């Protein structure tokens, strides 16, 4: 195989209704924010081409409805995901509490080969607002207990940390993609280099 395989990374964004999933996706892909988003019904998606270590990959970012149940989208939707982004609203503690359920549910539906090491990224969104209710430390604590999920605090509105977070997401997804390609016997084109330091570059500490 002289030519490199075209890489398509599938990223799924999950989280409660109104935490800013659509806004984050649009901020990252279109560099735009508007207060005029409608509620997502079912799912929506955008694609973006990104360079990761001189490698051009296409990211297919799936935005899901916060109230959508897993069942309605079908198992096929979740299978083949390379990374799962869990979003909560830092001003609403209950959206943080449900992260557990979202994560568990995703693992059940997507049933990845190695659930323990499946890449998740957690985003605490709306940090531009004053009435913060979930302390950073609490969120970080939760991420640590879940096999050190990278955690970012973002604002889709102010474009804070969005680029960094999605860079990390892309990187994680690419690693995962390489892993699964190996599993199914394709030539591993990507050197698997877990880069914990880099992953955390945009993280809040």
Partner 1 sequence: MVDSTNKSHKQLHVSSTGNAVLFTNTGIPSPIDLSSSQEHCPTDRQGSPIHITKNFNSSTERPINGTIETGEQGEGGDCNEDQYYPFPVKSEACIEKIKQDWTRAVEYLQEGDILSKLREMALHGELESQPLRGIAWRLFLGTLPTATEDWIDIVNKQREKYNSDKNKADIDPHKNASSHPLSNESNSAWNQFFLDQDLWLIVDQDVSRTWPEERIFTNERIRNIMRRVLFTYAKSQSKVDYRQGMHELLANIIYMMCREHERCPVSQEIPEYIRHVVDPSYLEEDAYTLFSELMEYCDIWYDGGHEEATFKARTNIRIETPFEKEGVVLGLTALSKKLNKIQGTLLKKHDPELSEYMDSLELSPQVYGIRWIRLLFGREFILKDILLLWDALFAQGTSLDLIDYIAIAILMAMKNSIIDHDQGDCLLRLMKYPQDFPVRDIINHALHLKHPSWPNPYGSIKPVISSEKLSTLSSPPREQIDYANNNSTEDPSKWSKMKVNQNWKSKSLRSNTIQVTNTQPLSIRSKIQSLPRPRVPKSAHTQLSNPLSSPKKQSESSLTGSNSQNPVATKTADDQISNLEKEIEFLRVKSDYCVGKLTAYVDHLQDIMYQSTFATKESEDLAYLAIAGIKQVRDVLKGQLELGDSSFGLDSNMYHYLRESNPNLVEDHISKDSPPSDQDKPPRYRLGSKELEEDSVDLFTNTSPPISAEMVEIHSPPDPLLDSSQDFPLSPSHPLEYID
Q: Closest CB to partner 1 among 156 and 203?
A: 156
As measured in angstroms, the least distance from the Cβ of 106 to partner 1 is: 11
Where does this chain bind partner 1 (CB under 8 A)? 8, 17-18, 35-45, 47, 58, 60, 65-77, 89, 91-92, 94, 97-98, 100-101, 104-105, 108-109, 126, 129, 131, 133
User: Cβ(66)–Cβ(15) under 8 Å?
Assistant: yes
Q: Closest CB to partner 1 among 2 and 71?
A: 71
Q: What is d(CA 112, CA 179) in angstroms, rounded to the nearest whole number?
A: 11
Q: Closest CB to partner 1 among 99 and 203?
A: 99
As measured in angstroms, the least distance from the Cβ of 93 to partner 1 is: 8
As measured in angstroms, the least distance from the Cβ of 68 to partner 1 is: 8
Q: What is d(CA 205, CA 191) in angstroms, rounded to the nearest whole number?
A: 28
User: Cβ(164)–Cβ(30) under 8 Å?
Assistant: no
> What are the start-end ranges of the H helices in the chain?
21-30, 70-73, 75-78, 93-97, 99-110, 136-145, 162-183, 196-199
Q: Closest CB to partner 1 among 157 and 202?
A: 157
């Amino acid at each position: 195989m002289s030519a490199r395989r075209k890489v398509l990374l599938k990223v799924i964004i999950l989280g409660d209704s109104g935490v800013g999933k659509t806004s984050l996706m649009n901020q990252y892909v279109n560099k735009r924010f508007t207060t005029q988003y409608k509620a997502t019904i079912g799912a929506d998606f955008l694609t973006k081409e990104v360079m990761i270590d001189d490698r051009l990959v296409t990211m297919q970012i799936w935005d899901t409805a916060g109230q959508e149940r897993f069942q309605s989208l079908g198992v096929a939707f979740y299978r083949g995901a390379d990374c799962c982004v869990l979003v909560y609203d830092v001003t609403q503690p209950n959206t943080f509490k449900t992260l557990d359920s979202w994560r568990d549910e995703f693992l059940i539906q997507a049933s990845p080969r190695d659930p323990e090491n499946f890449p998740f990224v957690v985003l605490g969104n709306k940090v531009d607002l004053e009435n913060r209710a979930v302390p950073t430390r609490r969120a970080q604590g939760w991420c640590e207990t879940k096999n050190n999920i990278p955690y970012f605090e973002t604002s889709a509105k102010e474009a804070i940390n969005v680029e960094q977070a999605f860079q990390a997401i892309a990187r994680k997804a690419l690693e995962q993609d390489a892993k699964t390609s190996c599993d199914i016997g394709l030539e591993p084109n990507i050197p698997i280099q877990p880069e914990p330091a880099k992953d955390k570059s945009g993280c809040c500490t």
